[in-house]
Structure 1
């Protein structure tokens, strides 16, 4: 009986670890897709990584913005063309699963444009919604 209990414990532990690895990779895939879409100059595709909800929260240099549509409009206003968007790279520092359907991400961003190279940091809260990881809070500076 004791051997069966130990075996079950090991199976559950390995299964939980595998799910965490899978979720972390899925989150990294969302961020990589966003980066790729940005570098194609496709803001609407980039926005697919965000929760399409009025409750989406984006916090930037101008303070908080609520809602997917308003966030999209702000991106389109701030980055009206491919030249303004530049070439985006991320430096992912940390991906922490804080619950089975919530994760925290810390990273850096860097834009390479013809005349400048703005950069900064971001913290993200992602939720697994209908089996898909989405950014629900983005604080970028």
Structure 2
């Protein structure tokens, strides 16, 4: 066995799980900001455009593209502390004027709960 196999799985913040990011992507698409939000997370514009073109060719939904971009961001920031990543998600929401979503992210993180489709306030 290698050292990587012996190492315990890293505990990540619940709001950073793949399921949470998928729920967040769905909410951003519902707010018509699905491909704008990743730019506020400092994903390079060329990467956003590249993933958009690839997604369009494969006939992916905007929600799928936003989810893929959020997962790309998570991988891009894998060396950052979870606290910093959560703050990035919250800051980006606030900069976009999505204060309710930012508050939901903070509340869920403080309670160590995942984001879900039903946790976001109705528009």
Quick check: TM above 0.5?
A: no
More strand by share: 1
Given the two structures, how large is their TM-score scaled by the length of structure 2?
A: 0.31
More helix by share: 2
